Structure 1
Amino acid sequence: MKPKTQPILSFMAMLMAILLGTTASLIMSDWMVSADAQPTADIASTSTIIFAEDGIAIRGTDAVAYFTEGKPIPGRQEFAYEWQGVTWLFSSAEHRDLFASNPRAYAPQYGGFCAYGMSYGALVSIMPEAWSIMDGKLYLNYSIALQKKWKEDTARYIDQANLNWLALKTK
């Protein structure tokens, strides 16, 4: 099925509005991803949608490092682990084993897609450096600028993203 470009264009318009310091509320209704749209990332053929490129989750970043090191660290192929149909990379065997023992404790919310994007029902790619941990859960965002917007009302965005993620997973 051919991807629809409208959600991507609307997202880019919204992002430009945020970066320019203007309101993006007028375009939010056009920014929803329809059920048949395909995100730019690979979707695993499992019950969970995971942000992956070339089969590698979250741009190859070590998900455990956000919790243990307090920053994103690139993973290495020698410490790879398969989960939910994609490959997760880690910076050490210890991190790989921590993840393997309880993947849901370390995996980012919303399959690693942008948390702010999910609050509007959109599957949007991420930048590993745009992250936060809230209540023991990892959230990734599209960019540092968008992360600033996310942090303005995180609780509300999480509530909306949770609803959208649940709806997406049940389709």
Structure 2
Amino acid sequence: MSIVYSKIPEVLQIEPQVFADDRGFFFEAYNYQKFSIETGIVTNFVQDNHSCSKQNVLRGLHYQIQQPQGKLIRAVVGTIFDVAVDIRKSSPTFGKCVGFELSAKNKRLLWIPPGFAHGFLVLSEIAEVLYKTTDYYAPQSDRTILWNDPDLAIDWPLTTPPILSAKDQAGKPLKAAEIFD
């Protein structure tokens, strides 16, 4: 695997070693030993999530105020633009965001540690996204930051208005959000 560091050092893009031939391909999407040694991140994943969304669906920016989740994300069908926002007040990169294209074709994974809001936009006709989390889903502590908060100025690659859930439409700007100290 190779690791691409982002402008937020804790957010990592991981490129697995893919073995391809005329039959197809094989790669290890996750290997605890390699992940922990090569990234320096020692964590236990406790939950796997799988979502399917159609083109222009924007999910996020989600986080949990208690039981914050680290996430290891990959697209297994289609293409997404995946975003992480640092919402740790004490962090030197507080309020900064990074975005990456993840696709079934490029097979890249994204590590987003606890303390970040996460969201993605579906660029392909459909996308299926798998992600491992370091803590369990806690609906009572689930929060949403407004996807188009002007202070974040996320450069979403939109060609039409996004399709949003009621929860995502009601997100709060970062300035008004309940976040980590």
**Which is richer in strand?**
2
**Which is richer in helix?**
1
Please report the TM-score for the alignment, with normalisation by the length of structure 2.
0.25
Q: Which has the higher contact order (CA 8 A, sep 6+)?
A: 2
